[in-house]
Amino acid sequence: MSTKRYDEIVVDLGDRSYPVYVGEELLGDVDSMIPDDVGKVAIVTQRNIGIVPQLTRPLEIFYIGDGEQSKSLGTIGELCSGFAEMGINRKDMILAIGGGIVSDTAGFAAATFHRGLRYGIIATTLLAQVDAAIGGKTAVNIPEGKNLVGAFWQPTFVVCDIATLETLSNRERLCGMGEMAKYAFLGAEGLDQLSLGSQISACVRVKAGFVESDEREGDRRALLNYGHTLGHAIEAVGFEDRAVNLKHGEAVAIGLIFAALLAKRLGRIDASRVDYHLRVVRSYGLPTRLPFDVDPDRLIEAMCKDKKSFGTLTFVLDGGSGVEVVRDVDPTLVREVLLELNNQS
Ligand code: GLY
């Protein structure tokens, strides 16, 4: 690659280790990141993304649709038929260019076509750069649930080019900001004081650490779901009611404040740590309370159904020794904290 104007963060997984490049205008370097023995490249992207790096190898572009409905087994079937027609074999490579929908789908196609091909990711959204593209979780949705069919399949490289974020809408940016704010409580203290590029690098470093210690989410990797138990419930209830078009990052931000209030009620943190949560979340322009009226019992029911909760109220909560999983939290306390969440001054 050319003169250093990027951070290189290695996700250290032994013989499946890979670099994540964070910087500006890195697209011209993508060809040199592709291993020398790769013959052809199948690019998987969406029509509105409009990024195709210059490659010296034969390539074909496969477009998938927008929205979660495109993350389907049907799309995997279409991609694999396309790869077969193109003559992709085990020495070739898939290149995902887009946000989490593209990297999840292309990654799962790469994990399964010819029993596993190499793939690279050019992550073009903030959410993908700080979360979805790092760590090898690939999956598609089925009618019974999101991300229910997938594989752990690590990429060969990930490119986080900050220049690609310039065209994101404000709402899309907020979506990534919620995930970013989360890292401020997972080891990236002082995150909100850094430049955007340094923030992305710091988040990638924290995420890489979690993935290295628990690639298959046996325990520690689940802590990356900080703020997500209530966040997912808000999304589920808001979706059912068609009440509000809340972005994932906004729902996570509200979930972070809720988790801080709950941790305080459980004696795990003090008021100054709750204030730190409020300061960080506000610094990203994210909401700290529910934007619509909802019966707390509906949120509690949705939180019990969270696939990581196993039927009881389980949260990732901050504490003296950092965040940890706390199970069997009393629903009466959760209800009180949900009311407190919306009565903050
Ligand atoms: N998005 C959470 C994880 O990768 O584990």
pLDDT digits (tens, 9 = 90+) for 285-298: 999 998 778 889 99
Pair (28, 137) in one structural domain: yes
Q: What is the CATH number of the domain that holds 36?
A: 3.40.50.1970
Cα(305)–Cα(296) distance, rounded to whole angstroms?
14
Instruction: Indicate whether residue 224 lines ligand 1 (CB < 6 A).
Output: yes
Model confidence at 157, pLDDT cuts 50, 70, 90, reads very high
**Atom 2, ligand 1: which residue's CA is nearest?**
224
Q: Which of 77-86, 146-155, 244-253, 300-309 has the lowest mean pLDDT?
A: 300-309
Using the Cα atoms of residue 147, residue 109, residue 48 and residue 21 in order, give the sign of their dihedral. positive
pLDDT of residue 345: 67
Cα(88)–Cα(340) distance, rounded to whole angstroms?
56
Residue 75 lies in a domain: yes
Q: Which of 138, 180, 212, 225 to mutate to test the pocket of ligand 1 (most atoms within 8 A of CB)?
A: 225
Radius of gyration over alpha carbons of the chain, in Å? 20
pLDDT beyond 90 at 240: no
Q: The tokens 């729902």 sit on which residue?
A: 251
Residue 62 lies in a domain: yes
pLDDT of residue 235: 86
Give me the percent of the chain exceeding a pLDDT of 90: 81
Residue 12 lies in a domain: yes
Instruction: Indicate whether residue 231 lines ligand 1 (CB < 6 A).
Output: no
Pair (266, 337) in one structural domain: yes
Domain of residue 120: give its range: 6-168
Q: What is the CATH number of the domain that holds 239?
A: 1.20.1090.10
How many domains does the chain contain in total?
2
pLDDT beyond 60 at 70: yes
Cα(16)–Cα(153) distance, rounded to whole angstroms?
9
DSSP 131: I
Q: The tokens 């159904």 sit on which residue?
A: 305
DSSP 289-343: S-SS---HHHHHHHHHH-TTTTTS--EEE--TTS-EEE----HHHHHHHHHHHHT
Longest dimension (CA), the chain: 62
Cα(140)–Cα(101) distance, rounded to whole angstroms?
9
Pair (143, 35) in one structural domain: yes
pLDDT beyond 60 at 3: no
Instruction: Indicate whether residue 228 lines ligand 1 (CB < 6 A).
Output: no
Geometric angle at alpha carbon 218, from 217 and 221, rounded to 5°: 40
> In the structure encoding, which two tokens stand for residue 53, read together?
């790096």
Distance 56 CA to ligand 1 centre (A): 33
Contact indicator for 51, 122 with CB cutoff of 8 Å: yes
Cα(27)–Cα(6) distance, rounded to whole angstroms?
12
Residue 310 lies in a domain: yes
Residue 91 lies in a domain: yes
Model confidence at 309, pLDDT cuts 50, 70, 90, reads low
Closest Cα to residue 105, out of 62, 144, 47? 62
Pair (259, 161) in one structural domain: no
Closest Cα to residue 112, out of 76, 72, 156, 143? 76
Pair (22, 150) in one structural domain: yes
Nearest ligand 1 atom, CA 225: 2
Instruction: Indicate whether residue 206 lines ligand 1 (CB < 6 A).
Output: no
Residue 115 lies in a domain: yes
Pair (26, 133) in one structural domain: yes
Residue 95 lies in a domain: yes
Pair (148, 241) in one structural domain: no
Q: What is the pTM of this model?
A: 0.92
Instruction: Indicate whether residue 131 lines ligand 1 (CB < 6 A).
Output: yes
pLDDT of residue 190: 87
pLDDT of residue 310: 67
Residue 186 lies in a domain: no
| One-letter amino acid for residue 40 of the chain | K
pLDDT beyond 60 at 2: no
- Among 150, 168, 186, give the residue marking a domain's end: 168
Distance 137 CA to ligand 1 centre (A): 7
pLDDT beyond 70 at 249: yes
Report pLDDT digits (tens) over 10-67.
Answer: 999 999 999 999 999 999 999 999 999 999 999 999 999 999 999 999 999 999 999 8
For the segment 259-282, the average pLDDT, to the nearest whole number, is 97
> In the structure encoding, which two tokens stand for residue 94, read together?
């898939």
Q: Which of 146, 207, 307 to mutate to test the pocket of ligand 1 (most atoms within 8 A of CB)?
A: 207
Q: Mean pLDDT across the chain, nearest whole number?
A: 93
Q: The tokens 């292309």 sit on which residue?
A: 106
